[in-house]
Amino acid sequence: MKQVGWLVGVLAFLAVVLGPVLVTQAKGVAPRRTLYGPKLSTLDYTEVTFRNEPQNLTLAGMLFVPEGEGPFPAVAIIHGAGTSVRDNTWYLSLASYLKENGVLVLLPDKRGSEKSEGNWRTSSYEDLATDTVAAVEFLKSQNMVAVSKVGIIGMSQGGQISPYVVHLSPDVDFLVDVVGTSLNNYDVLHYEETNNLREMGFLPGVSDLIAYPSTWVLRNFRQKEFWDAVGNFDALSYWKELSVPALVMYGSDDPNVPAEASKARLESLNKDNIEVKIYEGSEHALQDPPGKGNDHFRIEALADIKDFIFSVK
């Protein structure tokens, strides 16, 4: 009887843990929304190259120049995780909108991507930040277009790095962080993996528990090279020392970055120069909420970035 009871207990446990997963998998994957933005073939830009001398890298990128005489405010964009591709509609939505509204935009190729040298897979966040310092120096020193001020816009992982870039460079006049967390890497990885497991069908409490061994495997085996390079990066000390104006933006339904926790951590610093906004119904790309459009980057968020840039004195 004890063996029967033990077997029943095991089967009940497996039913609770795996039952919802089997049901979810049987339903199949729901079709993803099609989100829209500009295509690279429709945009005008100038090919540029610049040097990261401390790391001996030649970096390439696209310079989006507004019409008119200038001087223009200028921004260097910092890429998120992974390889960058030039036809990414999320980045192009931002670059195109800002250019059309009088902002000079440098959209670099991330190191090891497209036409840039290097290898992002073995680079720390501190290494990657020096690429943006080089981009800012290029914008300050180039003589093709007159600029009035220079800022940075970090996208996702790039937003996480952005306060460290300001720590390195005295030439940054303002900062925009687009869905880059203020938490440390391991906490965000756990949050993201928990949501991945929930999407597979695991129940909330179960997914949270399984995420601990799952993220350990990611850090130590499946993505070991990357995690050995970036470690448990935490930018809070750089947010504390930040003196330039900053706009930080999150989506309320982001499965990759905990919006409320990230906002709370920044607001706990009580710094008047950091403004944090959460866009209801948006996920990681700050896209239009479901049923309210299909823009890859919602227009009110783009307008907020533009207004912020022009508000900086």
| pLDDT at 3 exceeding the cut of 60 | no
- What residues does 104 pair with on adjacent strands? 74
| pLDDT at 198 exceeding the cut of 70 | yes
Inside any domain, residue 207: no
| pLDDT at 227 exceeding the cut of 60 | yes
Q: Return the pLDDT at 14.
A: 45
Residue 59 structural domain: 40-184+233-311
Say if CB 135 and CB 106 are below 8 A apart.
yes
Number of domains in the chain: 1
Inside any domain, residue 14: no
| CATH number of the domain to which 130 belongs | 3.40.50.1820
Indicate the average pLDDT of the chain.
91
pLDDT digits (tens, 9 = 90+) for 94-141: 999 999 999 999 999 999 999 999 999 999 999 999 999 999 999 999
pLDDT band at 13 (very low <50, low <70, confident <90, very high): very low
pTM of the model: 0.91
Inside any domain, residue 88: yes
Three-state SS at 212: helix
Inside any domain, residue 243: yes
Inside any domain, residue 294: yes
Inside any domain, residue 158: yes
Give helix 89-100 / helix 299-311 axis angle, nearest 10°.
50
Inside any domain, residue 60: yes
Phi-psi domain of 102 (left: phi exceeds 0; alpha: psi -120 through 50; beta: other): left
| pLDDT at 251 exceeding the cut of 90 | yes
- Return the number of other C-beta atoms located less than 10 Å from residue 125's C-beta: 18
pLDDT digits (tens, 9 = 90+) for 37-71: 999 999 999 999 999 999 999 999 999 999 998 89
pLDDT digits (tens, 9 = 90+) for 153-183: 999 999 999 999 999 999 999 999 999 999 9
For the record, the structure tokens of 171 come out as 């030439």
Torsion of CA 298, 157, 86, 294, to 10 degrees: -20
The rounded distance, in Å, linking the Cα atoms of 154 and 275 is 15
Inside any domain, residue 209: no
Q: Return the pLDDT at 189.
A: 95
301 vs 9, higher pLDDT? 301
The rounded distance, in Å, linking the Cα atoms of 305 and 302 is 5
23 vs 38, higher pLDDT? 38
**What DSSP character marks residue 36?**
B
